[in-house]
Amino acid sequence: MAKKAKRRGRPPGAKSPDKMDVGQLRQYIDRMENLLKQKVSEQRSYFEEKLSELSGYASAKASRVMRAISGPKKKGTRKKATPKYRSRKNPKILWSGRGVTPVWMREEMKGTKLKKDDFLIVKA
């Protein structure tokens, strides 16, 4: 057998707002406003409590994540790279071998059979 549908609308005997006089309507509106204020304050307190729980959890989680990302703290600065290549024309010009090939090396190699290995600094 089919279930009986729930009755919708006002309960029996309740007055319709359009059949109330001004005084009754004002009381009805005041009751509804008070009920709404009460509901809003309950919801606000509930959500503020949940937010405070989450903020504590999130700050603890965030600090752990930041520690994991940053890793151990580095001390000082990196040592300057030792030079591996020296110019044949001007022995004071050096290059560590990092980054783009310097202009002076490209110019010295241009038109000759010199290669990068020819500029290597030989350690005695």
Q: Are residues 55 and 93 in the same domain?
A: no
Indicate the DSSP class of residue 67: H
Q: What is the pLDDT of residues 35-66, one digit of tens each?
A: 999 999 999 999 888 888 777 776 777 777 77
Number of domains in the chain: 2
Range of the domain at 54: 19-70
Task: Judge whether 114 lies within some domain.
Answer: yes
Q: Are residues 64 and 92 in the same domain?
A: no
3-state helix, strand, coil in the chain (%, to 5): 50, 5, 45
- The pLDDT score that the predictor gives to residue 11 is 67
Q: Are residues 64 and 91 in the same domain?
A: no
User: Which is higher by pLDDT, 115 or 13?
Assistant: 115
From the list 89, 85, 88, 93, the residue with the least C-alpha distance to 117 is: 85
Count Cβ atoms below 10 Å from residue 95 Cβ, excluding itself: 19
**Which residue intervals of the chain are DSSP H helices?**
22-70, 103-109
Task: Judge whether 62 lies within some domain.
Answer: yes
Q: Identity (one letter) of the amino acid at 42?
A: E
Task: Judge whether 37 lies within some domain.
Answer: yes
Q: Are residues 63 and 91 in the same domain?
A: no
Task: Judge whether 11 lies within some domain.
Answer: no
Q: For residue 85, give the 3-state DSSP assignment.
A: strand
Task: Judge whether 76 lies within some domain.
Answer: no
Task: Judge whether 78 lies within some domain.
Answer: no
Q: In angstroms, rounded to a whole number, what is the distance separating the alpha carbons of residues 27 and 10?
A: 17
Q: Are residues 58 and 95 in the same domain?
A: no
Q: What is the pLDDT of residues 67-110, one digit of tens each?
A: 777 767 677 788 888 999 999 899 899 999 999 999 999 999 99
